[in-house]
Structure 1
Amino acid sequence: MNMSVNIPKSRKNSMFKLGPIETTDSRVIWNPENDRNELYDVDVGRAVPTAVLNAPQQGTAVANHADPSPEWIAANLHTTPPPSRPKSIGSPYLSSPAIKKKSKSKAKVRHRRMRPCLTVEMSKAKSGAEVLRISFEELGWRWKEVCGPRKTSCDLHWHGCSFYDNDGIQSGMVNKFPGLLELVRKAQLSKLLHQMHELFPEEFDFYPRTWLLPEQYHHFCANVAEMQQKHPHDKPVFIVKPDEGSQGDGIYLITNPHHMGSVGLVRRAVVQEYIARPLLLERTKFDLRVYVLLASIDPLQIYICREGMARFCTVKYQLPTNRNINQVFMHLTNYSLNKKSDTFIHTDSMDRGSKRTLTSTFTALASRGHDAVGLWDAIEEIVVKTITAMLPDLTVELQAELPAKKPAPSCFQILGFDILVTDELKPILLEVNANPSLRLDFEHEVSPGIVESKPSPVDEEIKISLIKDTLRLLKPGKHAKEFKSRHTMPNSDGSHHSQAAVRSATPNSATPNSSDDEAGKEGVAIDESCLEEIWPRKYGERYSHLRVMEHVAGLFNQFLGVKGAHRMGATGFRMFSRKCKLCSNGITMAAIDIMYIDITRRWTLDSHEGIGAGMCFGAFLEGFFSIAMRKFRGSSLLEKVSALVEVCECNLKRAGARPTPRPHPRRLRRPEMVRRRVSGGWPTTED
């Protein structure tokens, strides 16, 4: 039906200032509540039939003229206006540009929240930078590298040496624990394991007998002479290792203590009994590199990697004699030494060559009739016991560097345990590496002076999976803690554990915060993790009694006096003795002061700080053991130490629950009242 519309001349007198018809697409919208074919004019508040708006005008199209006034529309169309403005004005049906812009901005914000970008700082990552980039690419995570100083927070800090590579870190995650690098040095680790051996002699028998040089050199000579008197036909062999050495630098073998070199007499080192009868494979000596993830300290979470590395010597093994004692390619399994040998074999195979995977090595041992499963369980126990021995010192260091109620990052660390297996299939701990190599290539000498890098399939197979599963498990990011607390999955026995403890993401997940359930809906297969939780799931209940030293660490932290301090002063040690009521059974406060001076002086001989620096945690442990030996009677040192720990904690608990003591009476300040006593007497020291 064709209708002509006359434009009224009262447009200038209209109180509604309408725009031209051609812009009505932003004001005239479809009204879904109306069954008739009508459009609704937002500005006018009238329902206009579509036939009227589509009808041609006199001589020209309607779009070329101005809008009709509301009086004209009401007089000519005879339509009844709606009672009020429809509520659908803010519905999605509207096509207002402002509303479109607002909804678009919300969609962008929602899109950013769904796919966060992980910020990573790896300027000090060294060899770990390459494997970290490859792991992010294979995971499919959105990440961005942060270079140089940055004021804003970063999600992941990947250091190559220690926690102190970058200063001022207050948030995010760091792949190092403060103080752990010093704890795993050969001398300090020997002290910790020897200390635990005194408490648990049957549990800590997996470490060779060790002497610290040069302070225990005379003691070492006396022990060797005693061994030769008992077994005159035996010729013991010893291995000397520098305390801060790495990659086999400065290691040598001796049969006579008087043949000691500069490493040991001048340079700090350790000397250990040499394992003369190791387990051989293809008549060659080898050791095992086991990777361990220390995910958390409080609560303690330990994971072991099912895949590791076996490093073989390049010369067939023979019992050490004076002729072959200097052949390092026969007696030392360090990769950094054997790669210089002409017989070192680089191969793409996982079960041949001088470097093999742990799985292929255990398969070869099982084929020869050895109990590979029992050997692996024994290695897991060594890992748990070693970390338990380091835990008290690590707790003290962590409390000093990252005190509570202050912004601090969360820490984790990948450790490398070097295990040697004897011919009786007993694993022996050689050392612990705080910074195991994460290189994926090796250097090949093409010609004299020309070296090129080639990829190592064995390293790629082991280390890429290790880093990928570590990132999946820990989920570094701003919302990682919230995600871990929300997502739990049931065990087979009905209990629940965190889903992050098994597998927190999939290989193709878009973000580090995406769940396995979402990935399963998208059809992404979840592969099995190479990390196995051994604490607390597997050995938490069996070896919980080994954590008695952590109670002593808690007492030390409580009486430090100053937050963030590493050493306890004389006042703190006296306060500890008074609060715990240790001055009994012949122990006086004067004896406590003398003990503090003697122990602190002995522990500060090697430093220039002196007694004024205070008592470190190791010195406090020595004093704690001394008090336990003098105060209690028992069959073993463990019983005495446990009794002292219980007494200290009970006395501190009672002191905390005791009501506030009555205040001291005020002294009278008038001269004539100075000698006058207050009725009831002055309170005693105990009150």
Structure 2
Amino acid sequence: MATKTPASPRKKRGTRRSGKYVAKVDTSQARSNIEVLRMCLQELGWKECISGCAIDSDIYWHSAVFQEGNRNFGFSSARVNKFPGMCDLLRKTSLTRSLNVMRTLFPEEFDFYPKTWFLPEQNEQFQKYASSMHDEDRRRKRPLTTFIVKPSDGSQGEGIYLIRDPARYNATNRPHVVQKYIDRPLLIDGLKFDIRIYVLIFNLDPLEIFLYNEGLVRFATVNYQPPSATNLHQTFMHLTNYSLNKRSANYKHASDEDQINASKRKLTLVWSQLSQQFSSNEVERAKLLIEEMINKTILAILPELRIEYVSELPLTRKQNRCFQIIGFDIILTDQLKPILLEVNANPSLRIDFDHENEAGKFISQPSPIDEEIKKPLVLETLKFVMLRRNQLEPSIEIIASEDQNIVQNQVEEHNEAESKNADKIHKETQSKSMLKNATLMKKVEPNLTDTEEESQDSTEDTISEAVSVDKFINTIKSNKSVIQSPMSRILKATHTPIVTSVKSLKMIYPTTSPNKYENMLLLEKIAFIYIELVIRRGYKTMTNRQFRHFASISGVIDSSITIPSVDMLYAQIFYKWKSFVVKPSTTGLHFPAFIEALFLLAQRKYSSSGTLLSSVIELTESCVRQLNICVEV
């Protein structure tokens, strides 16, 4: 009897060559990134999937947004190079709102971007400020303050212009931001310039941020003069965008041999040029301030980024399915202080430029400087993604394994430390929380509606199932496999990660000083509240009922803050945001609106705390304690 030959097992996510695993990358949505991406894949010897129908790719590379092309990566172990919602979060208006929230709480830490107004929403406030500044300018006999207007969704310098008179603002249905113009920029050879710095956000849980060791410096093409009534319109003098200045007759393309006078230069070269004007300590301090600016900016958008993530991908998965390269645009003042201009969710990865030939037609021409900077960025990012995957699936031996020695020792140290720290943090956090708040959970508010009574009854039923607080704490002490709460994961974010660097990528968060940004995780705790009360219950925005529940479990309701006043606050915030947001919600409060409502509620409840920060901390901690108990039990 013939023996049936067993079928060969199907190969997943790639093929093997000489016993080594060959990674597969889906490039069907790469678009303008395709040239540099294809060069990197060829160098690595990895397989490119261009059809868009593969369900077993290791990496999905999208050019613009997370929601592109094939969505099978959402249900596999693959990673995609975009985070959900990142484009919207980094639009000028959204980013400024996030930074303003942090500046309200931490004014000294968030002084690295210009004073900004949203138009038309804050047009009246802007006009009053401009009038006041101009009166002060006249008294001091100095030039009138200049402002720069930018469309919120603009890119490549499109729609940007300078004004002094607020009446010159061209009101449209398109949202804009207007900022104080930086009129004393640092110059090189008399030209204004800005810096494009590339940053890799690799994980959310825990957060990991990497800084690429090279960048681009873009120069204006007309010698700078302070803004005046006669030169406000001179785009090639005041704006440094490459997409604008490449049209200038003075634009100088860089070559392999000479970048010193080019209109686009490597960042390392410019740092070297600046070292001739400033001391090495001053230059190093500027670099450190840039790293801190990057970390603080990403911490400002992180709460909403987490919410977008859990809204898009399964809640049961860790928030480590995505990574993204973003571009920070920074200008230096004449005192070498870095100022944030904007953050680009999709920085250009093109390695060519359009050149007008003798016939007047634009043709594509290779750009050596772009290739020299962007190819290593993409190459190292790809290798790093697969190195991390190799740690999770060690049976797979990835081509480009020469980098694996970098992390071998760190993997062992991380695994040992992670096991010890997870148990320790969980025990301490939950034990203290349970002891301090056991009595709080048993209180019944006297003036609750049916909605609040239902919510509180549910909470008390949950506690009664645990029999007693003491028994629950003993359970924690005897059970090392107890599931960690979401807040435990937030605390875990500052632990030492597995990999601290891969060649040209330097980890800048977490830092060697774990307490440096600890206070700035306050907004993450508020995001945790929002996720627990809204997202985990299947909603996209916070309803009035959920806002009441939040006020109830936070212990806000008393003789001075009643349910009707909470409802009134909700309605006030809801209709305010509905009037100004481009795509308003018809069902509830988005996270930024909830933040504003929470701040106002905190000020009412804890008016004696002294500062807004201390009030928000008290309200947030009160709510988090209750939610942690409910979740853990």
Distance 1:458 1:563, change over 3 A: farther
**Which of residues 638, 652, 668 in structure 1 aligns to 2:613?**
638
- What residue in structure 2 maps to residue 433 of structure 1? 344
Give yes or no for the alignment of 1:366 onto 2:275: yes
What residue is the counterpart of 2:623 in the other structure? 648
Give the letter for the 1:258 counterpart. Answer: A
Larger Cα-atom Rg: 1
Shift of 1:577: 1.9
Match of residue 80 from structure 2: 174
Matched, 1:283 2:283: no
Does the 8 Å CA contact 2:117/2:123 hold for their aligned counterparts? yes
Give the equivalent residue in structure 2 for 1:38. none
Counterpart check, 1:200 vs 2:200: no
Q: Structure 1: which amino acid aligns with 2:27?
A: M
Match of 1:246 among 151, 155, 166: 155
Structure 1 residue aligned with 2:26: 121
SS in 2 for 1:352: coil
After the TM superposition, which residues 516-595 of structure 1 pair with which residues of structure 2 at under 5 Å, given as runs? 529-538=503-512, 540-560=514-534, 563-584=537-558, 586-595=560-569
Output the amino acid matched with 1:222.
K
Of the three residues 215, 225, 229, the one matched with 2:131 is: 225
**How far, CA to CA, are the matches of 2:583 and 2:153 in structure 1?**
21
Correspondence for 1:8: none
1-structure distance, mates of 2:18, 2:528: 41
What's the secondary structure of 2:614's corresponding residue? helix
User: SS where residue 367 of structure 1 aligns?
Assistant: coil
Question: Equivalent residue for 2:60?
Answer: 157
Q: Distance in 1 between matches of 2:36 and 2:539?
A: 37
Aligned CA distance change for structure 1 residues 407 and 255 (closer, same or farther; 3 Å): closer
Matched with 1:324 is: 231
Q: Quick one: which of 458, 474, 484 aligns to 2:369?
A: 458
One-letter code aligned to 2:355: H
Q: How does 1:423-502 map to 2 (within 5 A)?
A: 423-475=334-386, 479=390, 481-483=392-394, 488-490=407-409, 500-502=499-501
Asked if the contact 1:193/1:386 (under 8 Å) is kept, the reply is yes
CA distance in 1, matches of 2:583, 2:293: 36
CA distance in 2, matches of 1:498, 1:409: 13
Deviation at residue 629 of structure 1 after TM alignment: 0.2
SS state of the match for residue 594, structure 1? helix
| Separation in structure 2 between the aligned mates of residue 119 and residue 645 of structure 1, nearest angstrom | 44
Percent identical among aligned pairs is: 39
For 1:585 and 1:656, locate their aligned partners in 2 and report how far apart those are by CA, in whole Å. 29
CA contact (8 A) 2:327 2:346 kept: yes
CA offset at residue 378 of structure 1? 0.7
Provide the secondary structure at the position in 2 that maps to 1:410: coil
Q: CA deviation at 1:208?
A: 0.3
Determine the C-alpha separation between the residues in 1 that align with 2:216 and 2:395. 31
| Contact 2:121–2:580 (CA under 8 A) maintained in structure 1 | no
* CA deviation vs aligned residue, 1:215-242 (integer Å, no higher than 9, x gap): 1111111111111223313301011101
Change (3 A) 1:404 1:284: same
User: Do residues 147 (structure 1) and 51 (structure 2) align?
Assistant: yes
User: Aligned letter for 1:354?
Assistant: S
* Contact 1:397/1:566, CA 8 A, preserved across alignment: no
Rate the CA distance shift 1:105–1:214 in 2: closer, same or farther, 3 A: closer
Equivalence for 2:246 = 339
Task: Summarize deviations over 1:269-318 as a string: whole Å, max 9, x none.
Answer: 11110000100001110010000000011110000111001101111111
Residue 455 (structure 2) aligns with: none
Query: Aligned AA for 1:218?
Result: E
Change (3 A) 1:477 1:122: farther
Distance 1:408 1:618 in 2: 21
Give secondary structure in 1 for the equivalent of 2:528: helix
**In 1: Cα distance, 2:49 partner to 2:319 partner:** 21
Whole-angstrom distance in 2 between the partners of 1:237 and 1:368: 27
Question: Cα offset for 1:350?
Answer: 3.7
Query: What amino acid sits opposite 2:501 in the alignment?
Result: V
Q: Measured at CA, do residues 113 and 558 of structure 1 come closer, stay the same or move farther in structure 2, by a change above 3 Å?
A: farther
Deviates more, 1:588-597 or 1:248-257: 588-597
Distance in structure 2 (CA, Å) of the matches to 1:395 and 1:644: 21
The whole-number CA distance in structure 1 between the counterparts of 2:173 and 2:353 is: 34
User: Relative to structure 1, is the Cα distance of residues 380 and 614 closer, same or farther in structure 2, using a 3 angstrom cutoff?
Assistant: same
The match for 2:431 is none
- The aligned amino acid for 1:208 is P
Secondary structure at the counterpart of residue 403 of structure 1: coil
CA RMSD of aligned residues (A): 3.0
Choose from 565, 568, 573 the match for 1:599.
573
**Is the CA contact 2:52–2:70 (under 8 Å) kept in the aligned structure 1?**
no
**Letter of the 1:143 counterpart:** K
C-alpha distance in 1, partners of 2:17/2:524?
A: 44
Letter of the aligned partner of 1:137 in structure 2? Q
Aligned counterpart for 1:189 among listed residues 95, 107, 111 = 95
Closer/same/farther in 2, CA of residues 583 and 144 from structure 1, 3 Å limit: same
For residues 357 and 17 of structure 2, the distance between their equivalents in structure 1, rounded to whole angstroms, comes to 50
List alignment gaps of at least 5 residues for structure 2. 397-403, 418-495
1:137 alignment counterpart:
42
| SS of equivalent to 1:449 | coil
Q: CA deviation at 1:582?
A: 1.8
Q: Which amino acid aligns with 2:57?
A: C
Query: Are residues 538 and 498 of structure 1, via their aligned partners in 2, closer, same or farther at CA, if it must alter by over 3 Å?
Result: closer
Structure 1, residues 566-621: CA drift from partner, whole Å, max 9, x if none? 20112211222222222125111121111112211211225698774111111111
Comparing 568-577 with 600-609, which one deviates more in the overlay? 600-609
Q: Aligned partners of 2:552 and 2:498: how far apart in 1?
A: 47
Aligned letter for 1:212?
F
Deviates more, 1:120-129 or 1:171-180: 120-129
**8 A Cα contact 2:254 2:265, kept in partner:** no
- Distance (whole Å) between structure 2 residues aligned to residue 477 and residue 202 of structure 1: 36
CA distance in 1 between counterparts of 2:604 and 2:8 reads: 73
TM-score by length of 2: 0.78
Q: Which has the higher contact order (CA 8 A, sep 6+)?
A: 2
**Aligned-pair CA distance for 1:251:** 0.6
Q: Report Cα offsets for 1:415-473 as digits up to 9, x if no partner.
A: 00000000011100000000000011111111243222221111111101111111121
For residue 547 of structure 1, give the secondary structure of its aligned residue in structure 2. Answer: helix
Secondary structure in structure 2 of the residue aligned to 1:395: helix
Q: Is the 8 A contact 1:441 1:454 kept in 2?
A: yes
Q: Shift of residue 133 of structure 1? A: 1.1
Q: Which residue of 1 aligns with 2:467?
A: none
Q: 1:388 Cα deviation (Å)?
A: 0.5
Equivalent residue letter for 1:468 = L
Counterpart code for 1:160: S
